[in-house]
A and B are shown apart, each in its own frame.
Chain A
Amino acid sequence: MFDHSVISSLLTAFQPVNLVSCFIGAVVGTLVGVLPGLGPAAAMALVIPLTLKLGPTAGLIMLAGIYYGSMYGGSTTSILVNVPGEPASVVTTLDGYVMARKGRAGAALAIAAIGSFAAGTFSVIALQFFAPLLARSALAFGPAEYFVLTVLGIVLLSNLTGKSRVKSLILMMVGLVLSTIGMDPVGGVERFSFGIDAAQGGVSFIAITTGLFGVAEVLTIMAEKEEKVELLPVKFRELYPNREEIKRSVAPIVRGSVMGFFIGLLPGPAATMAAFASYGLERRISKFKHMFGKGAIEGVAGPESANNAAAGGAMIPLLSLGLPFTPATAVLLGGMLLHGVTPGPFLLKDRPDVFWGVIGSFYLGNLMLLILNLPLVGIFAKIVRVSPKYLMPTVLVLCVIGAYGDNSSMFDVWVMLASGVAGFLMRKYQYEPAPLVVGLVLGPVMERSLRQTLIISKGDISGLWGSGICVIMWVVVIFSAIYPIVGHFINRSKKVL
């Protein structure tokens, strides 16, 4: 794999025009990630016409830079002001924001950047060496397999935050119900839209999450007494993670990278799911279980690595099969076609310069993003020291722009404000909103794959366990569902003895 021509092609990423394109892409990507509402797919679509003048290699390097750059920026607002910049960063709010309020914003931001870098680099290495092999295995997943996978997600993530299982399940159901609003993805029938045009497309994920997290936080702080929100002064040295925090982050970063990468190979909201899955895993196996939800660094390190690795994983079906599984990779595919480059098995043979140039730029871009983001940590971390009377109105403005900007729809803004009030009440009565988001993300995938499976099997329910992969996953589902109950029973009988 590593002959001379490959190395020299990888080095094309260092040509001045490519270097500059990569840098611009990384900077734009970071901004896109920071701003809620403007997602990577929309930003890339806007930039495509500009890249046409750069030629395929530089143009695609810039587009790819925006794509993975946005995964870096997404965590920033999650950590600082509890507003997820990207869907994939929702879970980062759970511990990242708590850390920020304890004066460890810098540590959380720095670990997020380092984790993103490690995961990004890991996924490029995997992409470079195993792409064709992995792409094949992704094809083994059809509708039936996705359905079981979503069931597994529901079971494993139903107790994401480890508080009340009943409350979690209730909220997950609410999320699933909310996801059915709008045009039904299979039959094309309108549901629960009550004649509102804007609701035909469903409720916006961005509007709900900015409301549940961002607006709810603003309302909570408003309701608190002034002196409670005073933050501890932070010394410069404390802006960066200490030795213990780094040590605790290593294993979650490694686990998050590997898991995120494999989830990234699959269609659907891979980066978001990868982040949630990583959080669920870390909370279960961590030595600091009791710290989760109270500012555990693992809860930032794992998910932030996982979503970056997933973004890299999603490049594999695109580059080796020409199949875009996510909206963002669909835009990349569009960009490639406009540049006269056809992705797929022939890309490496037809245009090795483009293929290796883009791969090379991944290594370089990840390094640039790390160097770019670490100094920003210091600046961003100061934002939490801004007095709430200035900061909170700004956050609210940011939320409104984010919700509006997603679809340019005022309806979304109302949804956001309503979710904000709901989120505020949920907090007052100790309902954690994260499971609702899981339901909202998994709902459409689950519904579509279930109905596709049943259409393909002509209504025969055995189609749901028609392949070996399905059977294995069902066994895992059943085990995961029963284990907590059995475990509870065993614990109790031990106590009795």
Chain B
Amino acid sequence: MKRRVGRKIAFFLFFASLFFTQLCLQAHAAKDDWPTKQVELINPFGAGGAADIQARKLAEIISRDLGQPMVVRNVTGAGGAIAYNEVRRAKPDGYTLIWYSGAINTLSARKQITFDYTAFDHIAGIGYETIAIAVNKTAPWKDFKEFVAYIKQNPGKVTIGNSGMGSVTHMVPVAMAAKIKAQVTHVPFGTGLAVASLMGGKIDASSQHPAEILSQVKAGEVRVLAVSSAKRISIWPNVPTMKESGVDLVFDQWRGFAAPKGTPKNVIDKLSSIVKKAVESKEWIDFTSSVGTTAEYMDPSSFLKFVAEQDKLTKEIMTEAGLLK
């Protein structure tokens, strides 16, 4: 009796683990009438962050028209290099996509990956996400102009937190300092942790996406001095852009979809039109504006052109700041 129970449990565990393994492994079957199985969207960013929330929400809307689920999988580490490597090596059959963003530009500029944007087929651009420069509620600077003036008078003294070296939240303060020809001290944190240090008065300012600081702004704990986009964003109509405040800088995080080079054109076109419908849906626009992002669809060719321009711009900023090896 004792033995039989043991054997039953062993068998149960064995089959349970087999089942689980099956779930983990992906079946390989490429057909013409794409998609015949779930489409995987590889997200280089961690679960729960601003990029991840958007990927999941958009994937959900897209799945409705796709006929198959679009599943988000987080492949984190090495600033996104691992995810980009994985997708580049994936079969170009339209079943493995990358949640594409400015990381491709910074990673290739810093040679953290051995390829650049040309290794991917561009499917669709979906919009921009601005960078907000925030200070503690007790900070002496009334607006961005005063902040910039203070930086100029006290070179290297002002500390600005970002979410990691080489990230867009790091690039914006770097570019800003280069434009005003003054020094600031960059302090890399993980996502979200810069805000805590800002509120605790450990750093002077922090640089992040609006979603990461929404509730703290609403509570009056921190003030946003400027955003890096070309236009003001709808949730903060009173926050000026950097350009309005006299710093000639427009630099945003951009997002979109891409697939490994060699993906069939019919797959790209079909997906691009589904993405267009999702990005222009009221549900998506309402959601993105509530977290401070701007929805804007770009077709494959204009998206490729846009990414190429961003690539050039990123390299310029990084060279100017001495960030390239």
Contacts and interface: CB of A to CB of B under 8 A. Distances in A.
Interface of A: 35, 41-42, 44-45, 48-49, 52, 138-144, 182-183, 185-188, 190, 197-198, 200-202, 233, 267, 317, 321-325, 327, 330-335, 337-338, 340, 342-347, 382-383, 385-387, 390-391, 394, 397-398, 401, 404-405, 407-408, 448, 452, 455-456, 458
B203 A330 contact: no
Contacts of B221: 321, 345
Interface stretch (B189-197, B226-234, B253-261): B189-197
B108 interface: no
Interface of B: 2-3, 5-7, 9-10, 13-14, 17, 20-21, 24, 46-49, 52-53, 56-57, 59-60, 72-79, 81-82, 85, 110, 112, 156, 159, 164-166, 185-193, 195-197, 199-203, 211, 214-216, 218-219, 221, 287, 290-291
Contacts of A141: 200
B193 A325 contact: yes
A201 B77 contact: yes
30 contacts: A42-B47, A44-B47, A48-B56, A49-B59, A49-B60, A138-B196, A142-B200, A183-B77, A185-B190, A186-B165, A190-B112, A197-B82, A198-B82, A200-B77, A317-B196, A321-B216, A323-B216, A334-B49, A334-B53, A334-B56, A342-B214, A342-B218, A346-B218, A383-B9, A386-B6, A386-B7, A390-B10, A408-B75, A452-B189, A455-B186
B219 A345 contact: yes
Given A45-B74, A332-B48, A386-B10, 6 more contacts: A45-B48, A333-B48, A337-B291, A390-B7, A391-B6, A401-B17
Contacts of B21: 401
A143 B59 CA distance: 37
A385 to B, nearest CB: 6
Given A267-B196, A385-B6, A398-B17, A456 B81 contact: no
A390 B6 contact: yes
B85 A197 contact: yes
B286 to A, nearest CB: 9
Contact of B197 (A44, A143, A408): A143
A456 B159 contact: yes
A48 B78 CA distance: 26
B188 A330 contact: no
A455 B170 CA distance: 15
A456 B78 contact: no
Instruction: Name the residue in A48, A317, A343, A346 with the highest tally of chain B Cβ atoms < 10 Å from its Cβ.
Output: A48
A142 B197 contact: yes
A324 B78 CA distance: 21
A455 B189 CA distance: 12
B22 to A, nearest CB: 11
Nearest to A48: B56
A338 B56 contact: yes
A455 B185 contact: yes
Ranked 3 nearest A-B pairs via Cβ: A201-B77, A344-B215, A142-B202
A338 B290 CA distance: 10
A26 B219 CA distance: 32
A201 B20 contact: no
B211 A337 contact: yes
Given A139-B196, A338-B57, A385-B6, A401 B77 contact: no
A331 B48 contact: yes
Nearest to A188: B165
A458 B199 contact: no
Nearest to B203: A456
Given A182-B78, A188-B164, A385-B2, A267 B193 contact: yes
A344 B203 CA distance: 21
Nearest to B52: A334
Contacts of A394: 10, 13-14, 17
Nearest to B193: A267
B215 A322 contact: yes
B124 to A, nearest CB: 21
Contacts of B48: 41, 44-45, 324, 327, 330-335
Contact of B78 (A49, A183, A322, A408): A183
A55 to B, nearest CB: 15
Nearest to B192: A324
A42 B74 contact: yes
